[in-house]
Amino acid sequence: MCGIIGYIGDKNAVPIMIEGLKRLEYRGYDSAGVAFIQDSNVIFQKTAGKIAALENLIKEKDYFTTLGIGHTRWATHGEPTDINAHPHLDCTGKIAVVHNGIIENYSSLKKFLMKKGHKFVTETDTEILAHLIEDQYEGDILEAVRAALTQVEGTYGIAVICKDNPDRIIAARNGSPLVIGRGNGENFVASDVAAILRHTNQVVYLADQEIAEITLNNFTVSTLDKLHVSPKIQEISWSLDMIEKGGYPHFMLKEIMEQPTTLRNAIRGRLDFAAGTARLNGLNLQYKQLNKIDRIIISACGTSWHAALIGEYLIEEYARIPVEVEYASEFRYRSPIINPGTIVFVISQSGETIDTLASLREAKRRGACCLGICNVVGSTIARETDGGVYIHAGPEIGVASTKAFTSQITVLSLITILLSRMRNMSFEKGEELIRALQTVPDLVASVLQKNDEIKKIAEKYAGMNNFLYLGRGVNFPVALEGALKLKEISYIHAEGYPAAEMKHGPIALIDENMPVVVIAPQDSVYDKILSNIQEIKARKGNVIAIATEGDTHVASMVDDVIYIPKTNDFVLPLLTIIPLQILAYHIAVLRGCDVDQPRNLAKSVTVE
Ligand code: G6P
């Protein structure tokens, strides 16, 4: 989604902004622009398309400025054209605004401003902000922005500059993330730490309804109601190389290959062998409270929702607690039933997904204890939950989530063990499960070694236009996730189904042009899945099976097989998903797709 970078210091802001915008490319965008003050004028350059196009636009202009704001736009109101790209200016051209989010009352504000004589040149909701600020401006840009924002309904993360106040950037947030980066004789503002990490790891996260005035050596934060806020500086532990490709052609491949490490990080310090259970202090709940849980709701979007479904299978089977998994976008507008024993987990890699955040707030309003499973430390969801577990996967840049997914499953597995051991699970069983989890990073590493083999299979099927993914039990959500990976990055239509459900519809589609990926490890439903494979083969379908190492029987039935090592059923999804991630990756690359920035998708969906 949209990205913001702002710089004030003694260096040339233009290359800093361009580099920052490139770091935000992964979020997904369709146009980009910058505005800055040079020779006492606001200069802006913006264009549809990639940041390379913006660079082309400015490359021979020799700009030098020490203050500027930049933006990558993901279109909501108005097409992704040059004119609709941010920054947007007021009528006089002295105020420039970049904005993430959606101004919901923009059409009434626009009418009001047009009546007052303001001239609009774009179709965006953001442009009204520039005019509204102009309308309120009496010489102090901070107060003008503050006054304008009190009239605005909707979500925003904004950065504003003004020709008359060439020594400051104003930034404000309501619902769209924004951080201030503290440098040495320079300061930054960004929608995502990745944009500024090269320059500083000292950041302040703005909260909703907060506004900041950022100068060269200082920044102050207050609420829209003018209450002073003491900014809390946090140190980001991510290093620069974590947000770089490290020799891989794509972030997605790097992140797939990182999984043995990220899974080790997810379990580090959390396996309690002496007690045969998991240690999750971040939950902030006493054992007595955990024991009283009689129902769990998990709310999430996208890949995180698939992880939640796996959590449902695990928690119900082992801890015997009823679990309901909700699409966050549905949960927030339903009237969910929350009883005293209900606990709500929200899962979000970014910690900023607007629907997940809204579902968290709704659950809190209804009195639920809300826990988060997040990756980004200090993100809004992480801050607003009562407690939670970080997945510690490190920055995930590829739009298609891979390493965050397996780390989310790992954390859900730890939660399962903890809750089970407090109920019906024996020490021996608990110990068996934590030992199984401990082996996963090495097992995943062995599956990753099949990269070349899987690439060959990808070459066979890359020309197909439809795929079906089937799995049973806990591998059904894995099938959903495998299909999602393929469709996200290769634009091939792919559907995931519970294998037996195939007979109720998808079987009609099966022919030699519809490859079927069947997750068929030797687990408790192995025999059933073999029957499903027979049904596909009887209809001339091509089957790619994910099977247990050494299973020659399955191999003799299908067209292609990818083996995973034999392991405890409890951790199977952590292995079965790996070949599906790799398969999707290679198919997308073979089709010439932009794997890290698939069309229309955004890494962090901060608008409804
Ligand atoms: C977007 C991303 C997905 C992600 C989903 C939820 O759609 O492209 O990869 O799974 O948002 O994001 P979250 O950060 O809340 O896990």
Q: Using one digit for the tens of pLDDT, what is the confidence trace for 299-326?
A: 999 999 999 999 999 999 999 999 999 9
The model's confidence at residue 21, banded by pLDDT at 50, 70 and 90, is very high
Phi then psi for residue 31, to 5 deg, are: -160, 165
Q: Rounding to the nearest 10 degrees, give the CA dihedral for residues 258, 396, 380, 347.
A: -60
Candidate list 2, 162, 369, 593, residue with the active-site label:
2
CA of 304 to the centre of ligand 1 (A): 7
Which residue CA neighbors atom 5 of ligand 1 most closely?
302
Confidence of residue 78 (pLDDT cuts 50, 70, 90): confident
Stretch 486-505: mean pLDDT, rounded? Answer: 94
C-alpha 12 to ligand 1 mean position (Å): 34
Among 401, 405, 485, 577, which residue has the most ligand 1 atoms within 8 Å of its CB, making it the best to mutate? 401
Atom of ligand 1 nearest to the CA of 602: 8
Q: What is the mean pLDDT of residues 76-100?
A: 92
Whole-number Å distance, alpha carbon 350 to ligand 1 midpoint, is: 7
Measured CA to CA, the distance from residue 531 to residue 500 in angstroms comes to 9
Kindly report the backbone phi and psi dihedral angles of residue 210, in degrees, each rounded to the nearest multiple of 5, phi listed first: -110, 150
Mean pLDDT score across all residues of the chain: 94
Query: Which protein residue has the closest C-alpha to ligand 1 atom 4?
Result: 302
Question: Residue whose CA is closest, atom 3 of ligand 1?
Answer: 302
CA of 401 to the centre of ligand 1 (A): 7
Residue matched to tokens 């607003």? 384
Answer whether residue 209 shows pLDDT above 80: yes
Q: Which two tokens stand for residue 217?
A: 């050596």
How far is the centre of ligand 1, averaged over its atoms, from the C-alpha of 596 (Å)?
14
Here the tokens at position 449 are 């070694």
**Residue 42: its pLDDT value, please?**
96
| pLDDT at residue 398, rounded to an integer | 92
Mean pLDDT of 332-354: 93
Closest CA to 318 of 177, 223, 238, 430: 430
CA of 599 to the centre of ligand 1 (A): 15
Task: Count the Cβ atoms, other than its own, within 10 Å of residue 279.
Answer: 13
| Nearest protein CA to atom 1 of ligand 1, as residue | 603
Mean pLDDT in residue range 219-227: 97
Mean pLDDT over 460-466 rounds to 96
pLDDT of residue 606: 75
Classify residue 543 as exposed, middle or buried by CB count within 10 Å of its CB (0-12, 13-18, 19+).
Answer: buried
Residue 577 Cα, ligand 1 centroid: separation in angstroms?
17
**pLDDT value for 599:** 87
Site to probe by mutation for ligand 1, drawn from 487, 603, 607 as the one with most ligand atoms within 8 Å of Cβ, is 603
Find the mean pLDDT for residues 456-485. 97
Instruction: Tell me the pLDDT band of 541, cut-offs 50, 70 and 90.
Output: very high
Residue 421 has pLDDT above 80, yes or no: yes
Ligand 1 pocket, CB under 6 A: 301-304, 348-350, 353, 356, 399, 401, 601, 603-605
pLDDT band for position 59 (cuts 50, 70, 90): confident
For the stretch 583-604, pLDDT in tens is 999 999 999 999 998 988 888 7
How does DSSP classify residue 206? P
pLDDT mean over 31-57: 94
Q: Is pLDDT at 1 greater than 80 in this prediction?
A: no
Here the tokens at position 458 are 């990808």
Distance (Å) from CA 303 to ligand 1 centroid: 6
Ligand 1 pocket test, candidate residues 29, 305, 353, 354, most atoms within 8 A of CB:
353
The whole-number average pLDDT for the span 70-87 is 89
Average pLDDT of the residues in 67-94: 92
Q: Which of 252, 325, 605 should be mutated for ligand 1, with most atoms under 8 A from CB?
A: 605
What are the Cα distances from residue 183, in Å, to 157, 187, 232? 21, 5, 15
Cβ atoms 1, 605 nearer than 8 A: yes
Residue nearest to atom 7 of ligand 1 (CA): 302
List Cα–Cα distances, 118 to 121, 134, 136, in angstroms. 10, 9, 13
pLDDT in tens, 325-337: 999 999 988 888 9
Of all helices (H) and strands (E), which one includes residue 174? strand 169-174
- Which pLDDT band holds residue 286 (cuts at 50, 70, 90)? confident
CA atoms within 13 A on the CB side of 163: 16
- Give distance in angstroms: CA of 305 to centre of ligand 1: 9
Find the catalytic residue in 46, 403, 485, 603.
603
Nearest CA to ligand 1 atom 15: 348
Residue 597 CA to ligand 1 centre (angstroms): 13
13-to-32, 62, 66, 94, 245 alpha-carbon distances in Å = 16, 12, 5, 18, 25
Active site residue 2: yes
Atom number in ligand 1 closest to CA 356: 15
191, 304, 594: residue to mutate for ligand 1 pocket, most atoms within 8 A of CB:
304
Report residue 80's pLDDT band, with 50, 70 and 90 as the boundaries.
Answer: confident
